[in-house]
């Protein structure tokens, strides 16, 4: 797992991972946004809509998929939507590992 930040000298926006609930600087987490066209991974971090944050980590993803992501976004996702997101997340995991 990622190391916890030791000092908060500089101001970095803190976000909670919907998977493991660890609080982290925003840039280390991936934003998932509930926008006008449904739930999507927001790589820019700037898309409008209600956002949730998650580590690029398969364990966090699995935990979030048990309901905390939907809870954070206040939305019920269809299986199709979940599969689509999962595919995007897999690409991100591959990027991080490669």
Which residues are near Zn ion by CB under 5 A? 17, 19-20, 55, 60
H or E, element range at 89? helix 79-97
C-alpha span between 51 and 44 (Å, rounded): 12
Least Å from the CB of residue 37 to Zn ion: 26
What is the DSSP-derived secondary structure letter of residue 40? E
Q: Which of 79/92 has CB closer to Zn ion?
A: 92
Q: Which of 59/78 has CB closer to Zn ion?
A: 59
Least Å from the CB of residue 59 to Zn ion: 7
């Amino acid at each position: 797992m990622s190391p916890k930040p030791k000092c908060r000298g500089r101001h970095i926006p803190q976000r909670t991972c919907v998977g493991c609930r660890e609080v982290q600087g925003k840039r280390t987490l991936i934003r998932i946004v509930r926008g006008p066209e449904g739930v999507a991974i927001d790589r820019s971090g700037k898309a409008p809509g209600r956002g949730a944050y998650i580590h690029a980590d398969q364990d966090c993803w699995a935990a979030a998929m048990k309901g905390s992501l939907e809870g954070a976004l206040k939305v019920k996702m269809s299986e199709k939507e979940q599969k689509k997101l999962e595919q995007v997340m897999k690409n991100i995991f591959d990027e991080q590992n490669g």
